[in-house]
Amino acid sequence: MIYDPSNIFARILRGEIPAHKIYEDADTLAFMDVMPQSNGHVLVIPKAPAVSLDDVDPQALAQLIRVVQKLAPKIRDAVGATGYRLAQFNGANAGQTVFHLHFHIIPMYAGVPLRPHTGKMGDQTEIKRHAETIRVAIGA
């Protein structure tokens, strides 16, 4: 698949669409999922264009996973979760809906099931509140 520079994550990177950003460095961006499956659901993307693991530069992937590893436990702790799930999809048949490589960091709470991915936006006030809490916890 050829990378489409008009995908929503590319547009977020260019500042054309707002996002609740929680972390950014020269190579990566982390922001709140607007359709969260749990409180504190974050997406981490490379700034370099890549559709999936199939076409990402290995150095960009290494930096991306370093950021995921650094942020995941801090997000878990910031939102009071008891664990976290990482998810990454490659291709439409695998569940990928935005064709820009990304990792989901999904906080998990004891006895609380994940919300289904229905395509409906979450409560933006609540998402913003979680973003602020996470930013404080990671020192952003």
Angstrom distance (rounded) from CA 13 to CA 1: 20
CB 34 within 8 A of CB 104: no
Which amino acid is it at 27? Answer: D
> Is-catalytic flag, 41?
no
Residue tagged 């709140």 (tokens): 32
Integer Cα distance of 132 and 113 in angstroms: 24
Q: Which tokens hold the place of 127?
A: 């998402």
| Active-site annotation holder among 102, 104, 117, 130 | 102
- Is 40:138 a contact under the CB 8 Å cutoff? no
Backbone phi and psi for residue 43, each to the nearest 5 degrees, phi listed first: -110, 140
Which one, of 99, 89, 5, 84, lies nearest residue 42 by Cα? 84
Residues annotated catalytic, as ranges: 102
